[in-house]
Structure 1
Amino acid sequence: MKTIKRVLEPKFKWGIAGLGNFAVNSIIPAIKGLRRSRITAVFSHSFERAKEVAGLFSIKEYYDDFEKFLSSDFDAVYIASANQYHYDQVIAAAKAGKHIICEKPLALNSNQAEEMIRVCEENNVKLSVGYVQRFHPLTRKAKEMIDSGLIGQPVIINVSQSFDYPPNQNFRYQKENGGGALRDIGTHCIDLLRFFGGEIEQIEGYLDNVIYKSEVDDFVVATCKFKDGGYGNFYASFCIGKPINRIEIVGYKGTIIIENLIGKRLDYAKLIINKVDETKKAFRMKANKLQNLIKNFQNALNENEPLLVNGYDGLINLKLIEEIEKSAAAKRISRNMS
């Protein structure tokens, strides 16, 4: 009788930096749910928090010293720290030879992002950014339909994403931490506009405090022109009581609508196709977008799969954010002078 030996695949080892709610409720469970992945170390500026989370998920190593954390044995780090720490932590991780997924926005400004990309390239490490909404299967299905010409040339793309985040959500309302509706939610909208419509040649917008008065915006609306033709709009908000999450791609031959990519009804997305010469079709699907992003990142390292979001996506999105902020500031100055 022959004995069949099972060859165990080596696990891809992760470190997690930043242990807020998103890391604990989403990132860590997503990685632990992947057969070929494991988390070997976590980092928090609070030693007690690091110890608590490590115990919760049976992770052996926990640190409140970032350099010691980087000396631990793992292949890549998911940086989910507050925005103000992204720059220093990505630079340090790259110099330590760790591959990196960094939460969005990549940095506080485009100058920082350019330096982060340069250091990653110099140290031959991959850099991705947490633009998870590209990774829902229905998002990708819609993109394939657009590219196939199903709805003709896109004329306009509208993206709406809003939540009720009152000012007690402190990190979202801290200017020094890159807070505000534009940088927190609008960055996803910009990424989706680029994903479906291609690169943007012009963009302008308005920032406002419609409901919640603070040092950062609770509402943003913007309009753009795509290099390959067509237009895009988006609004993002902290101040709408019932969350709205909708993408509408309008072409000459029809319209594609995607709903519920994010929100409390986690990942039960809906895709609607409404062609001029056909009856309406609809699809529903549940998927773990974050897990798909992480799988793509691991496959890019292990199997040379194309990396679907890279550091340059984070840089371009930041430059577009800065253009919106400039145009909004100019409009405020003009309004005050009139």
Structure 2
Amino acid sequence: MMKIGIIGCGMIAEFGHIPAIQQVSGLQVYALYDNDFSRAVHLQHRFHVPHAYPTEEDFFTSDIDAVVICTPAPIHYKNVMDAAKHRKHVLCEKPLGMDEEEMLEMKRVMEEAGCMLFTGFNYRFSQSAKDIHRLVREKAIGEVRLLRLVYNWHLHGKWHWNEKGERVDSALRVGRMLEGGPMVDCGVHQIDLARWWLGSEVAWQHGIGVWLDNYEAPDHVYLHMAHECGAHTMVEVSFSYNTTSKEPRPHFQYELIGTDGVIRYNREEHSFEVRNSHGTQYLPWHPEKSFTGMYMELLKALQNGTPGELPTAEDGIKATRIAKAATDQAIRERDKPSKGCPSTKSRAEIGRLYPDEVPMDFYD
């Protein structure tokens, strides 16, 4: 039995990681730590976890085989450094780190400790995502030329009401925006899928932002990626889609367009289909992510001492690098607003719509 310790006992641990681990025979949620000890104790009782520790030292020196990091992104670096010091394998939530220097140091230190570092790209393990991976390799739609990957949602709403009945900004939304916005937080999944499905790296990219809110990062982002194989990917991610609506509805869709048809997956419709010159095939629909599938692979990795199918630190670094470059470009190129709408830019005034693309050696 492999013993897993979870650091960070927030929503993603409660509703994603812990239930999934407990479904995998051969893994045990053995220890919990959170800087709010009462939160760790709450989840300990709810999920019948053997230990909840009041200090990080107690947690890391317990009898755990690997650590799952579910803390906010700015804390990932420290958590990984501590895990390396105690020679624990790590699966870290995305984004892997806050900047290039941090992530490369995390990877280096873990390698020197002889430990594996994985990135929690659980979208890869949805059966639908795995089916797309297979269909691309079988050339079910010929040569893939274009991917359209869209995740527009409300991030659980812009506001909530406190005990006094006052409307206050959602702490979750504020935190995610300050950490880099939707492309860095969620778009990394779509970036990873595009690289994985195509088996091709990104040669150049271009990021455009739209501001519905007043954060530094845009809350709606478009990313164009050109792959070395010649295919192109468009990623659209939003934290402002229906964010103030009384009855919000997100929009999540994959479309892969090839020389002989289209693969289309839509979460809200529960539809998944292939349309090509032979006809139309309706495939079984599955949710877009699978924590359980990811942990089945983690068990194999811990048993075999090799990554297997798990996304590595390098996968996390590449996806985060692209997401941050797109966001940084959007911020850097944000022009003065028009008089009528603060999110409408005036780039046409300088005689060109698009600046030079950002090459992937931008941070090298």
* C-alpha separation in 2, matches of 1:294 and 1:273: 29
Counterparts of 1:225-244 in structure 2, within 5 Å, are: 225-241=226-242, 242-244=249-251
**Structure 2 gap ranges (5+):** 159-168, 243-248, 337-345, 351-364
Q: Distance in 2 between matches of 1:19 and 1:58?
A: 14
Comparing 133-142 and 175-184, the one that deviates more: 175-184
Secondary structure, counterpart of 1:233 in structure 2: strand
- Displacement of 1:64 in angstroms is 3.4
Q: CA deviation at 1:217?
A: 2.4
**AA partner of residue 224 (structure 1):** M
Deviation for aligned residue 1:333: 4.9
8 Å Cα contact 1:16/1:39 also seen in 2? yes
Q: Go from structure 1 to structure 2 and tell me whether the alpha carbon gap of 1:292 and 1:108 turns closer, same or farther (over 3 Å shift).
A: same
Please tell me the residue identity of whatever aligns with 1:324.
A
Which deviations, in whole Å up to 9, do the C-alpha atoms of 1:74-121 show, x marking residues without a partner? 111110001111000011112211111100000111111100000111
One-letter amino acid of the structure 2 residue matched with residue 323 of structure 1: A
Contact between 1:175 and 1:215, CA under 8 Å: does it hold in 2?
Answer: no
Give the corresponding residue for 1:157. Answer: 147
Q: Is 1:110 aligned with 2:117?
A: no
Secondary structure at the counterpart of residue 234 of structure 1: strand
Deviation for aligned residue 1:174: 2.9
Higher RCO, Cα 8 Å, sep 6+: 2
The Cα shift of 1:216 comes to 3.5
How does the TM-score come out when normalised to structure 1? 0.89
Matches within 5 A, 1:42-53: 42-53=32-43
Count of aligned residue pairs for this structure pair: 320
1:1-338 correspondence to structure 2 within 5 Å: 11-165=1-155, 166-167=157-158, 168-174=169-175, 178-197=179-198, 198-210=200-212, 212-241=213-242, 242-260=249-267, 270-275=271-276, 277-286=277-286, 289-303=290-304, 304=306, 306-333=308-335, 335=346, 338=350
- Give the match's secondary structure for 2:48: coil
The letter of the residue matching 1:317 is A
Q: Is the 8 A contact 2:297 2:309 kept in 1?
A: yes
Aligned-partner SS, 1:90? helix
Q: Residue 302 of structure 1: SS of its match in structure 2?
A: helix
Superposed CA offset, 1:135-193 (max 9, x none): 11121111111112221111111100111123343234237851411112211121122
**Equivalent-residue separation in structure 2 for 1:139 and 1:222 (angstroms):** 20
Rounded Cα–Cα distance in structure 1 between residues aligned with 2:271 and 2:95: 26
Length-normalised TM-score, structure 2: 0.83
What is the percentage of aligned positions where both structures have the same residue? Answer: 25
The code of the aligned residue for 1:244 comes to: H
CA shift, 1:305, in A, is 6.4
SS in 1 for 2:152: strand
For residues 294 and 111 of structure 1, the distance between their equivalents in structure 2, rounded to whole angstroms, comes to 28
1:215-270 residue CA offsets vs partner (Å, 9 max, x unmatched): 4322111111101111110100112222111111100011111222xxxx7xx964
The Cα RMSD (Å) is 2.1
Does the 8 Å CA contact 1:248/1:256 hold for their aligned counterparts? yes
